[in-house]
Structure 1
Amino acid sequence: MSENVEATEKKTSPEIEKIDIMNLVAAFWNGFKRLWFVLVIIVIVCTVRSYFSTSFSYTPQYVASATVSVTTPGGSYTNIESAQEMAAIFPYILTSGVLEDVVLNDMGLKSLPGQIEVEAEEGMNMLTISVSSDDPQMAYNVLQSVIKNYPEVAEYIFGETNLQILDETGIPSDTQREVVIRGSYKRGALQGMIISALILCLYVFLKRTVRTKEQLNKHINLHDLGSLPHVRMKKRKKEEYNNLTLLNDRISPAYEEAVRRLRVRVMREAESENGGVIMVTSSVPGEGKTTTAVNLALAIAKQGKSVILADCDPRNPSVAEVLKDQGKHPGIGAVLRGKVSLQRALTIFQIPGTDAEMEVLYGGKPNAADAALLGSRKMDNLIETLRMRADYVILDTAPADLLADASLLGKYVDFVLYVIRCDYTKVNKIRSGIETLTARNVNLLGYIFNDDVNQKSSRYGYGYGYGYGRYGRYGRYGRYSHYGKLKGTGQTEDEAGRVIKE
């Protein structure tokens, strides 16, 4: 007892988890593979936006320049000193407005349409005079006026000086547009990459899903029943080839072997405790519980055991869809309401290519009102009838963290198999679903780690897109369906208790 208390205190005490670099890298890589298309679109959009924004807002600047030599016929300065001094004093001459007034008066303008700069060549009696303007002809005209009038303005400071043109650009052309546009591509792409990196970081750090069994075992203490490998999607024209069940003769051998291992473990546990009514559930929609329940029932039936598969999810019955049965069958709700007999509602399902068969109790048409009957005495009686009729009864139910159906039904079954999809469900959802069941003293046999990419199946397999069903009827939890196929690694075979780690 003291050991249990000590263990509980240890579990509930706050602790800082060490950062696993490899898992973090794997999380970013998985996130990138999941979001790469969106991230590329963001980079493209930012690049195109920057291009058009720069193109439409770009104002060309034309620079007319000339290199002149400075001579002082009778002044007290040498030619080199005069050039250096004229360049140094030029900003003061320009800001004083004297040169500007002279140029404006010479050109007959009211304002100067550009900027004037003067730079002296180091150790030489030469000046480079530049005029920039958005009008090439105006830039050239202002340059000529500055060359003509600059000596007159500088005469009051330096005395008589002469400027002789050595070289000039003439009427300038725009040489910067190509450079500016090329820079806009780079700026836009960089901006897009930064935004994409931020989105990827938020996705990885806020998603908080379980990618490996090692991570999962830090948060829950359930018996590991094994993994079902990730199967790569390859859509086929024939509908039967787009089904992730043992009915698909093109399913990968690795997946079949994983289902067989699951069957062995479940049958061993059931036989050891004389229990044959097994409920399959998960935390949220989209984790593959219905597909797992169907495959488990098929695998046990192929062993020559009598099996009944019951769809106990009246709000969203999915067993018929997974089995590709498009016929009309009375649902479990009709049986519970006494509208049809159990014998009439049960359907014989012959497993193709074998002599094996199983009975199926379909869910019928979606009806939320039928869910209220799952915890009733009628349901208890129905399960007892099914128990006497077959060696194994497999019940597919609604997600445990989503609805109370699984916890209500759990008190009538022998075991519960909990399906957890790799890198799909948030940790708090997994714990909440398990806590909901344990609060009603439901016997959790263990968890199945589904879609485990650490156990990849054949490259020619078929994906999970055809077997997880649609959960739009579950209201706001329908958003889980867009998580798609995500990745994770790791597998263990440790057997532990059934107490949730706090």
Structure 2
Amino acid sequence: MGDYRDKSGSERVDAPEKIDLTNVMLDVYHGVKRLWWLFIGLIIICAVQSYFSVSTSYQSKYVASATVSVTSVGGMDYVDAQSAQQMAEVFPYILTSGVLKDVVAEDMGLDSMPGSIDVKADDGTNLLTISVSGNDPQMAYKTLKSVIKNYPKVAEFVLGETKLTILDETGIPTDTKRVEVIRGSYKRGALKGAIIGCVILLLYVLSRRTVKSRKDLKKNINLQDLGSIPYVRTKKRKKETFYNSVSLLNERISMSYLEAIRKLRIRIMKDVEKKEYQTLLVTSSIPGEGKTTLSANLAISIAQQGKKVLLVDCDLRNPSIAGVMNEQEPHPGLGSVLKKEVPLSEAITNVKLPKERTNENGSLHVIFGGAPDGENSLLIGSGRMRALIEALKSKYDIIILDTAPSELLADAPLLGKYVDAALYVIRYDYTKLREIREGVESLALSGIDMLGYVFNGDNSSGGQGYGYGYRRYGNYGSYGSHYGSYGKYGAYGHYGKMEKGSTDKFGRVIKD
């Protein structure tokens, strides 16, 4: 959309965005980190291609040369520097006339003279350097000998009688430039690959313009900042896949992530309970921003505090809740319920929560998305969906609906008409500001109450998000291994002295 409303509520036209050199340098840094393999690949490919191209097409050139002295013959021999200079000056004309070529060819018994001839005079001396170039080293040398023999005869008509005396010669030549040419070929190829890589990096930087800080969001988006979720790196292994996932059901999840989800839950539930809301829609601008993982973990956290929670996968084109919850068994999806193919009771799945971390009154149920089906998504904005939500309100304290990206599809805005509030997920260094604005505007037009946004995967140096400034795994190492063995405070064992009345990472009050 071309306009956006500022914090005063008035409509404004987007001004051209200023170029922030710091962000540009960060983009270049991240670009190099992400595209280094492309740089190296291009350099290697271009160097190899140039090497083979030159080495296969290269034709050796052999240059036989000799330095001779010029002596004018007139009664008695004498050294004449002027004659040498004149011989060099008239050589192009003699060569153009074809007389020398014919004489040399006849002398060698050939139809034409092989190779090319060049003559240079040393200033102030009677010395000439005669060079013959050709593809055959033996033939180039024979041609040189014939030129030295016959050149004075041809030049006699212009300069008079002269004699050439060989002072130095190369003998049968070798191709000394081949190694140099081949070596230069792969250097030029490598340079070409580096230039192409720089062009690609430049295009990458210019196309990125992604949001890298909450400060940027506060200046450009008229939504409440609900905080950030730190970036967590997971180790992908074939075994124990779930224990390496970003889920609150994973006992190895990092402390910083748990703390961030807990604080996000507190802020959201404060608004929800104050306004007596029961339904919360979670969406983002584009795919890949982590909205599904956040929806699932937020639902788990709220349930552990004693609430009856229902998590619904409303992204029927790309259902992902089952993957986040590590649910391997097939279940009837939301589309099957809306089409009345299965009763609601069969589509609701109970998720077992750890007893030691969960209030006894809390529970979590899930309606999975089922198999991907674009036609089922047409029912998201229908009256059946509205009736289903109203029916579920009487059974649950809060219903969380994970929907398709707002900027990409119309599902979230259509569903927004039936839901109380929305949480907008924005991923660090992933989404462009234009996409965020368009997604927020599209959703806001449905009339839904926008609770605010959460900055997901925050890996910035300035605003490291919740978890006391932790980054990735924070100060505690991978999966909280710093805590040692299992102990008094749950799966993470001992993590410092806990005072009476304080709250541990699972929200439990320490009694002693």
> Where on the TM-score scale, by shorter chain, does this alignment land: which range?
0.7 to 0.9
Q: Distance in 1 between matches of 2:342 and 2:182?
A: 75
Which residue in the other structure is 1:416 paired with? 422
Q: Is the 8 A contact 2:62 2:136 kept in 1?
A: yes
Structure-2 change in CA distance of 1:344 and 1:233 (3 Å): closer
Deviation readout 1:68-110 (Å, 9 max, x if unpaired): 1112233898522222222233222222222222212212223
Q: State the 1:190 CA deviation.
A: 0.8
> Are 1:319 and 2:321 counterparts?
yes
Q: State the 1:7 CA deviation.
A: 6.2
Q: Is the 8 A contact 1:317 1:365 kept in 2?
A: yes
Query: What secondary structure sits across from 2:273 in the alignment?
Result: helix
Of residues 282-291 and 217-226 in structure 1, the stretch that sits farther from structure 2 once superposed is: 217-226
Which residue in the other structure is 2:23 paired with? 23
Structure-2 change in CA distance of 1:229 and 1:174 (3 Å): same
Deviation readout 1:343-370 (Å, 9 max, x if unpaired): 4432221123635341222223333333
Which residue in the other structure is 2:441 paired with? 435
Which residue in the other structure is 1:376 paired with? 382
Q: Is the 8 A contact 1:283 1:433 kept in 2?
A: yes
Q: Which of 251, 254, 263 does residue 253 from structure 2 map onto? A: 251
One-letter amino acid of the structure 1 residue matched with residue 232 of structure 2: V
Which residue in the other structure is 1:457 paired with? 472
Q: State the 1:461 CA deviation.
A: 5.1
Query: What secondary structure sits across from 2:222 in the alignment?
Result: coil
Query: What does 1:422-501 align with in structure 2 at a 5 Å threshold?
Result: 422-454=428-460, 455=464, 456-458=471-473
Q: State the 1:241 CA deviation.
A: 2.3
Q: State the 1:145 CA deviation.
A: 0.7
Q: Distance in 2 between matches of 1:97 and 1:376?
A: 94
Query: What secondary structure sits across from 1:447 in the alignment?
Result: strand
One-letter amino acid of the structure 2 residue matched with residue 364 of structure 1: G
Q: Is the 8 A contact 2:27 2:208 kept in 1?
A: no
Q: Distance in 1 between matches of 2:305 and 2:386?
A: 27
Query: What does 1:169-184 align with in structure 2 at a 5 Å threshold?
Result: 169-184=170-185
Structure-2 change in CA distance of 1:35 and 1:180 (3 Å): same
Q: Is the 8 A contact 1:278 1:392 kept in 2?
A: yes
Of residues 399-408 and 61-70 in structure 1, the stretch that sits farther from structure 2 once superposed is: 399-408
Q: State the 1:294 CA deviation.
A: 0.4
Which residue in the other structure is 2:336 paired with? 334
Query: What does 1:28-107 align with in structure 2 at a 5 Å threshold?
Result: 28-74=28-74, 78-107=79-108
Q: State the 1:29 CA deviation.
A: 1.7
One-letter amino acid of the structure 1 residue matched with residue 43 of structure 2: V
Q: State the 1:457 CA deviation.
A: 1.2
The number of equivalent residue pairs is 458
Query: What does 1:212-227 align with in structure 2 at a 5 Å threshold?
Result: 212-227=213-228
Q: State the 1:379 CA deviation.
A: 2.1
Deviation readout 1:413-436 (Å, 9 max, x if unpaired): 121011122222333332222222
Q: Distance in 2 between matches of 1:113 and 1:258?
A: 83
Q: Distance in 2 between matches of 1:282 and 1:332?
A: 20
Q: State the 1:250 CA deviation.
A: 2.2
Query: What secondary structure sits across from 1:354 in the alignment?
Result: helix
Structure-2 change in CA distance of 1:321 and 1:134 (3 Å): same
One-letter amino acid of the structure 2 residue matched with residue 183 of structure 1: G
Deviation readout 1:343-401 (Å, 9 max, x if unpaired): 44322211236353412222233333332332233322322333232222111111112
Structure-2 change in CA distance of 1:7 and 1:113 (3 Å): farther
Q: Which of 291, 294, 298 does residue 293 from structure 2 map onto? A: 291
Q: Is the 8 A contact 1:50 1:188 kept in 2?
A: yes
Q: Which of 302, 305, 310 does residue 303 from structure 1 map onto? A: 305
Structure-2 change in CA distance of 1:77 and 1:351 (3 Å): farther
Which residue in the other structure is 1:127 paired with? 128
Deviation readout 1:149-204 (Å, 9 max, x if unpaired): 11112222222211111111111111111000000011100111111111111122
Query: What secondary structure sits across from 1:141 in the alignment?
Result: helix
Q: Is the 8 A contact 1:113 1:138 kept in 2?
A: yes
Per the normalisation by structure 1, the TM-score is 0.85
Structure-2 change in CA distance of 1:9 and 1:371 (3 Å): closer
Per the normalisation by structure 2, the TM-score is 0.83
Which residue in the other structure is 1:391 paired with? 397
Q: Is the 8 A contact 1:253 1:457 kept in 2?
A: no
Q: Identify the structure with bigger relative contact order (alpha carbons < 8 Å, sequence gap 6+).
A: 1
One-letter amino acid of the structure 2 residue matched with residue 285 of structure 1: P
One-letter amino acid of the structure 1 residue matched with residue 74 of structure 2: G
Structure-2 change in CA distance of 1:403 and 1:19 (3 Å): closer
Which residue in the other structure is 1:484 paired with? none
Deviation readout 1:446-476 (Å, 9 max, x if unpaired): 11222222133127658xxxxxxxxxxxxxx
Structure-2 change in CA distance of 1:215 and 1:84 (3 Å): farther
Q: Distance in 1 between matches of 2:340 and 2:435?
A: 36
Q: State the 1:217 CA deviation.
A: 4.3
Which residue in the other structure is 2:211 paired with? 210
Query: What secondary structure sits across from 1:11 in the alignment?
Result: strand
Structure-2 change in CA distance of 1:434 and 1:16 (3 Å): closer
One-letter amino acid of the structure 2 residue matched with residue 159 of structure 1: G
Q: Distance in 2 between matches of 1:206 and 1:10?
A: 27
Structure-2 change in CA distance of 1:198 and 1:355 (3 Å): closer
Q: Distance in 2 between matches of 1:206 and 1:355?
A: 45
Runs (5+) with no aligned partner, structure 2? 465-470, 480-512
Runs (5+) with no aligned partner, structure 1? 463-502
Of residues 263-272 and 61-70 in structure 1, the stretch that sits farther from structure 2 once superposed is: 263-272
Structure-2 change in CA distance of 1:450 and 1:172 (3 Å): same
Which residue in the other structure is 2:486 paired with? none
Structure-2 change in CA distance of 1:311 and 1:17 (3 Å): closer
Q: State the 1:134 CA deviation.
A: 0.8
Q: Distance in 2 between matches of 1:28 and 1:109?
A: 65
Q: State the 1:206 CA deviation.
A: 2.4
Q: State the 1:339 CA deviation.
A: 4.2
Query: What secondary structure sits across from 1:389 in the alignment?
Result: coil
